[in-house]
Structure 1
Amino acid sequence: MKAKAVIAAPILLLVIFLCNFGSSFIPPEIIGTENDPYIVASLIQLFILVIPTLIFCRLRGGKYMKRLRFKGFRSGHTAFMFFALLLMFFGSCGINYLMHILFPDANVSSGYDNADGFAGGLYLVLTMAVIPAITEEFLFRGVILAEYETEGVPSAVLLSSITFAMLHFSFAKLPAYIFCGLILAVVLYTTRSIFAAMLVHMLNNTATIFFGDLIFRAVSSQGVVLFCLILVLFILLSAILMFGECERIYASYGVLNEDSSYTGKRKKGRGMAGIIHSIFAPIFMLLVILYIVIAAIGI
């Protein structure tokens, strides 16, 4: 399949968005949602995200999977990944709280109340943290980022983050998801491993499951001003430490004279031009319209 990225990637996402939307109309008694909603939702996500993406990879050719950075990360990347996780968690909490202030009626809660004991907690982690992290990273930091890389790295980072946020079909949570997508793209490029992005995503999901509503409870007990100051301090400290580790890792790449080329055939000079070309592609605009309609309906 030789279709350009600005055509092929949005088509794949259109299929996935429509399948996701269509799955909301399946009667609960048919798929067992009433009895076991989390595992059913995870299996549906596996089917909707992974199968179309695998077919897409197959159509792109036998060597396509090599572009997706399926290789392990180094032990020296652990500190960077930890600080990226902190920035991702505290940053998304702060953004969600800001959206809660601006739009009090919007649902920005991400916690889960029914983790019944240790076994229940493990079950939630598997269904709501592990499976979503693997499937979403395979699609967005894997295929979508690799596709848009031909339009330049800025386009790849931005478009993979925006479409990742759009998949969740929430206006209120859109800024936080875009922020998380940007952090995960930095993790991918710095470590050169999709598994690193999967792990950070997985740990952030886990933290959100158990501590996602903590920010709202803490505000009521500590006061808005004090809590916001503490949160901003954590965000700034995490960002400083993360980018410090990022600089150290890239310096080590230079010392070792490692290949710094990107996986796709990138067009020269595709900075802002690549972003504009990608965003204003007709099929991507259709994808945006579909997102707005589905998010407005509120699946």
Structure 2
Amino acid sequence: MKVRASFLSPLFVLILYILALASGLLQDKLISGGNDPCLSVIIISMLVYIIPAIIFCRLKGVGYSAKLNIKLFSPGKLGCVIMSSLVLICGTVLIRSAQIYLGGTKEPVFSMFGEYLNAAQGAEFLPKAMAFAVVPAICEEFVFRAILLTEYNEGGFGAVTASVISSLLSAMMFFDLEKLPVFFFCGIICCLVTYVTGSSLTAFIVHMLFGFYGIFAEKYVTRAIINPSNRVISLFTFSLLFLVLAFIMLSEFEHILRKNGKSGVPTPSYRLKKADDGETPDVAATEEEEEGTKKVIGDRTKMNIEAFFSPTFLLCILFFAAAVFGFS
């Protein structure tokens, strides 16, 4: 019996949630025991993400890894990747500005790495910064963009549903309500660039560049937006930058998709059961076409309900809420 992606994928993520909470205690012990925080991050990431993901892929059978879109991309798509990273950074600044102005915490999103990096000196700083930016990007994108997007696409749920669920599940992984919008937006951008470029490696690069921003620049940007004398000019500047960069990013997307269309490269599409069971209806049969369209829309609605109201997906949300507001 084949288990539906709407049930299996959130169940897999729920296991990661449990491991993530348990690893928090292990990480504290590793660091308090005098171990290198950089090494601790790598060990925890392996235990929480990589090992379970490898087991999941092995259980899916031979040839599953070939479906994950972990492949090189052409240099012409690099502009799309860079623009997506800049849009992500500017969008994050706007989200954090809104949160701060509404009374949220003024700590940077990546403040969890601050104390370890501040303690690093000289030659120690760069390797630790690399570990905090690169390792999480590899682990999270492998799970949430390579595996989860593949699962939902193979299950016929489509790009939009796959992107929203993948982004929400990845954002809840941090068990922080205030950081949820930031990492959800990060997930959406990574999903977009994955679908457009056809490679999950592009999402890894976007996530990695976002991590470098968080480590090297976010604290300075946060100081600027919390300064009352800079609020108006900061908000105006980043809003304008966001709009301009988003326009350029969408133009890059359009260029790539148009090029794919001319060369016959398949673009993201829904894999839903058609009313005609795969046979192309007669063009003249208007009524049959309309019935087929209604059936496709109906199937899409049913599959969206199945995905968003899956018992395991709801369990992930409940687990996140319990972790954030305290287990009773």
Matched, 1:187 2:216: no
Conserved in 1, the CA contact under 8 Å of 2:71 and 2:199?
Answer: yes
Q: Deviations over 1:239-295 (max 9, x none)?
A: 000000100011111111223366x95555454543332111111111110011112
Q: Which runs of 5+ in 1 are unaligned?
A: none
Residue type at the aligned position of 1:154: V
Query: Which structure has the bigger radius of gyration?
Result: 2
Segments of 5+ residues of structure 2 without an aligned counterpart are 275-295
- Does 1:135 find its partner at 2:139? yes
Matched, 1:279 2:308: yes
Q: Note closer, same or farther for the CA distance 1:227–1:28 as it changes in structure 2 (3 Å cut).
A: closer
In the alignment, the residues of structure 1 paired with residue 260 and residue 91 of structure 2 have an alpha-carbon distance, to the nearest angstrom, of 28
Query: Which letter does structure 2 place at the counterpart of 1:203?
Result: L
How do residues 34-73 of structure 1 correspond to structure 2 at under 5 angstroms?
34-35=33-34, 36-73=36-73
TM-score by length of 2: 0.83
Q: What's the counterpart of residue 9 of structure 2?
A: 9
In the other structure, the counterpart of 1:242 is 249
Q: Counterpart of 2:232 in 1: which secondary structure?
A: helix
Who is 2:281 aligned against? none
TM-score by length of 1: 0.91
What letter matches 2:314 in structure 1? M
Q: Please list the CA deviations of residues 198-224 of structure 1 after superposition, one character each: whole Å capped at 9, or x if unmatched.
A: 111111101111111222211317521
Quote the Cα distance in structure 1 between the aligned partners of 2:124 and 2:140. 23
Counterpart CA distance in 1 for 2:33 and 2:325 is 24
Match for residue 215 of structure 2? 209
Q: Residue 279 of structure 2 corresponds to which residue in structure 1? A: none
* CA root-mean-square deviation: 2.2
1:91 alignment partner in structure 2 = 91
> CA 1:185–1:28 in structure 2 vs 1: closer, same or farther (change >3 Å)?
closer
Q: How far is 1:27 from its partner?
A: 7.7
Partner of 2:262: 255
Partner in structure 2 of residue 178 of structure 1: 184
Q: After superposition, what is the alpha-carbon deviation per residue over 1:56-98, rounded to whole angstroms, capped at 9, x for unaligned?
A: 1111111211221011011000111111010011111211221
- In 2: Cα distance, 1:288 partner to 1:123 partner: 35
CA separation in 1, counterparts of 2:246 and 2:316? Answer: 32
The 3-state SS of whatever aligns with 1:57 is helix
Distance 1:28 1:164, change over 3 A: closer
How many residue pairs end up in the alignment?
Answer: 296
Between the aligned partners of 1:261 and 1:145, the Cα distance in structure 2 is 11
**CA distance in structure 2 between the partners assigned to 1:27 and 1:96 by the alignment:** 27
Of 145, 169, 174, 2:175 maps to: 169
1:75 & 1:266 partners in 2: Cα distance? 33
Q: Which amino acid in the other structure matches residue 134 of structure 1?
A: I
Pick closer, same or farther for the CA change 1:118–1:277 going to 2, 3 Å: farther
Q: Distance in 2 between matches of 1:146 and 1:109?
A: 29
1:288 aligns with 2:317: yes
Task: Tell whether the 8 Å contact from 1:108 to 1:172 is kept in structure 2 after alignment.
Answer: no
1:74 aligns with 2:77: no
Task: Give aligned-pair identity as a percent.
Answer: 28
Q: Which residue of 2 aligns with 1:24?
A: 24
Aligned to 2:287: none
1:148 and 2:152 aligned: yes
Letter aligned with residue 37 of structure 1: P
Q: Distance in 2 between matches of 1:77 and 1:232?
A: 25
Q: Which whole-Å deviations, capped at 9, do the CAs of 1:46-65 have from their partners, x for residues lacking one?
A: 21111111111111111211
